[in-house]
A and B are shown apart, each in its own frame.
Chain A
Amino acid sequence: MTDVIRSRHARRQRWLWGAPLWVLALAFLAPFAWMLSTAFKRDADAFTVPMDWIPDRATWDAFGTVLFGESSIVPAFANSVFVAALRVIGEVVTATMAGYAFARIRFAGRDTVFLLYLATAIIPAQLLLVPRFVYFQTLGLYDTLWALILPGMFTVLGTFLMRQFFVSQPAEFAEAARIDGASEWQIFWRIYLPMATPVMSALGILAFVWSWNDYEAPLVLISSPETYTLPLSLSNFTDEQGSLSPSLSMAASAVSIIPVLIVFLVLQKRFVQAMTHTGIK
């Protein structure tokens, strides 16, 4: 009897929080809905006000053009997957190790290096475009995917995120393990790394998004169409005045968002999973 009451109470509790969140969620879905509806519209109907959510005459044509047409986004899609995969792996590995050391290993010059690190993140990225171009051209990496992958594997923001996580973890575990004679690598690998999986997943998601949506670096570092990444290939759907075809570009955006959602849904499970073994051994 009490069990029934409790579970009914629990269910009500769930909806008490859930209902407003779902209402709010609609507001966050609006641009997504607009993107989809525009992809099915004719260009002339794209910007009618008030907004026309359901097109009068829906057509799949835009998706056909984007996927199978003359300037199909499929090859660029493959390039983007390749770039994003390497960047995510590289960034998560190097940022986790460096973030851990900045937070949990004491060594001379550590905090100075870290502040310098943060400082480099402040320089506006668009100012770096031209110098980067010159640099990669000299290294012989211009117009190769490596010009996009290599800088993305070693990032300051990722390191900062991981450091902030490790800083919030108790230092006592490390000290106890050191007294027990564990090596620094063992302390990192066996004790702290398992705790970090939720944050590493979050970083993985963010790194994927950063790589997937990066437009400006490929713009100046890539020139041949075979090497295009997705955001560059979207520029095929602009006319010579530089205006986008709304239906084509939104169809392409809708397709290009799918991998991001998959990565998100797979990695966000880690947030939940981690809760089950918070008990730190």
Chain B
Amino acid sequence: MIGRGRARTPTRRQFLAGCAGIASAGVLGGCGSGSGATPPNRLNVWGGVPPGSGPAALVEAFTAAHPGTEVSYTRFVNDDRGNLKLDTALQGGVDIDVYFTYQTKQLALRAESRMMLDVTDRLAGDAELAPYLDRRNPTALWDGDRVRALATVAEPWFVLFNEAARERAGTPLPTRWTVPEFEQVAREIRSDGVFGTYEVPRTARIALGPDYWFTPEGGSNLADPRFVEWLELGQRAIRDGVAYPWTEVLARHLDAYQQNGFVAGEFATWVTPPFSLRYLHDEENYPHDFRVAAAPLPTTADGTGWDQGQYNNFIMINPRSPRQDLAWEFVRFWVTEGARHMAKGGKIPALGNVPQEEVLASLLGPEPDRWFDVDSFRRVLFDEPAQLYVDSNLTAYAEIDLALSQQQDLCWIGERSPADAMAAVAARATAAIDRNRKAA
């Protein structure tokens, strides 16, 4: 056999689990699991960011600071199937000490199933990590009164302006504005062949903030009128030719490639998170001839302004790891000294512990003034930072998310009215929440 036997240390529980799995598969008898241990100084880390975008440099810095340790970074693709790979590996007892979770639905399941080590006690008394224990402004995933995962990245959204289009329309760059003003600006700025915006802001989120799908009692909040208002806003903008036609979004899969349309000047404003900036200073692959400025997300008419984005990219320790102390060292390094390496890949550190100018420089590339109105980004990102958060009620997350995007599509291609669409979402959400409660 040419098989490369993977070294692993089966714990008693894994062993039993494996046997149970096989028994359920109808095979009894020897549970011949391979043995041989990973050396105690070697960490296995699974993350979704390609090694070259920061993790490789971070790992190098960690091993330099911890002589004698080794870190193997395995990259998984952050889509449904890539996450399945991680989940099967975690369940099957593959040696993983530290891993990342990016999507809320996986966060919910992995937390619920205790696939994350409780790190509350390790945080206590660590001054540098104190923000993670702040419950009013959460940057960690709380499970009751325990912390199980730490956000590594802040993902504030903003509104990008194609400066050429803005100047042509003579619209001043907004520094503080409301949703109705956004609609007005998008209307003004559009011109022949150029839409005002790609997609309207998610106004229900902006108005309702964290856990916006749920009432304080944990029931469905999707019957709230602000959801219908959001769909109406989008439908109106599309109908009037202000927002990009949703039929084209679906027919061209623009969702995953919005940058192509923005770079080609097909729409003048773009509501998006910071990672989109990397395309806008990549002359090689995304050539364009205009500069880009940033405005904050609009607030509701009465001034409420939650962000559309969240703290994200959660790092956590596998409770089955036999090297939890070393794993914690690594996690701590990632969010503190290591954050600098990830910032180079365009990640804004959750703890805000990298100098602002350094973050800005990595977000805006080597020639910031050529491509961007740098001051506008400094203002939006740092001078008046948006209010970020971490959702804590993750019940039936994947199902509600799907229902919402399905009905949003139907509504915005004009096949269903906003009221009917939201009624359908609310019904699905209630059913899914009930089923989850029954199961719990």
Contacts and interface: CB of A to CB of B under 8 A. Distances in A.
Contacts of A135: 21-22, 25, 27
Interface class of chain B by DSSP: loop
Interface string A195-224: 000000000000000000000100110011
A86 B217 CA distance: 59
A141 interface: yes
B84 A142 contact: no
A220 B3 contact: no
Interface string A256-274: 0000000000000000000
Interface in A140-193: 140-146
A144 B252 contact: no
B60 interface: no
B260 A134 contact: no
A140 B32 contact: yes
Contacts, number: 119
A144 B2 CA distance: 8
B1 A146 contact: yes
Contacts of B286: 42-44
B284 interface: yes
A3 interface: no
B285 A138 contact: no
B287 A220 contact: no
B423 interface: no
A220 B88 contact: yes
Interface string B88-108: 110111100000001000000
B18 interface: yes
Interface in A33-50: 42-44, 46-49
Contact of A70 (B52, B79, B287): B52
B81 interface: yes
A180 B252 CA distance: 68
Given A47-B253, A49-B252, A223-B85, A138 B78 contact: no
Contact of A224 (B6, B27, B48, B82): B6
Contacts of A223: 6, 74, 85, 89, 94
A120 interface: no
Contacts of A146: 1-3
A263 B421 CA distance: 51
Chain A, interface size: which category?
35 or more
B21 A138 contact: yes
A138 B256 contact: no
A116 B284 CA distance: 57
Interface string A36-71: 000000111011110000000000000000000010
A93 interface: no
Contacts of B78: 240-242
A100 B205 CA distance: 64
A107 to B, nearest CB: 26
Interface in B30-71: 31-34, 48-50, 52-53
A42 B257 contact: no
Contact of A142 (B6, B25, B32, B284): B6
Given A44-B286, A145-B2, A238-B77, A138 B82 contact: no
Contact of B25 (A131, A227, A241): A131
Interface string B256-279: 110110011000000000010001
B355 interface: no
A133 B53 CA distance: 30
B193 interface: no
A129 to B, nearest CB: 7
Contacts of A220: 84-85, 88
A143 to B, nearest CB: 5
Contacts of A111: none
Contacts of B33: 137-138, 140
B275 A42 contact: no
B49 A240 contact: yes
Given A219-B85, A227-B4, A133 B92 contact: yes
Nearest to A144: B3
A253 interface: no
A238 B435 CA distance: 35
Given A47-B252, A47-B260, A138 B79 contact: no
A235 B32 contact: no
Q: Which of A47, A138, A220 has the most CB of B within 10 A?
A: A138
A216 to B, nearest CB: 7
B4 A224 contact: yes
A42 B94 CA distance: 39
Contacts of A43: 260, 285-286
A73 B52 CA distance: 17
A236 B50 CA distance: 8
8 contacts: A48-B260, A49-B252, A133-B92, A138-B18, A138-B33, A143-B3, A236-B50, A241-B275
Given A141-B3, A223-B94, 10 more contacts: A47-B253, A48-B264, A133-B88, A133-B92, A137-B92, A138-B32, A142-B94, A220-B88, A224-B74, A242-B77
Nearest 4 interchain pairs by C-beta: A144-B3, A242-B79, A134-B21, A44-B286
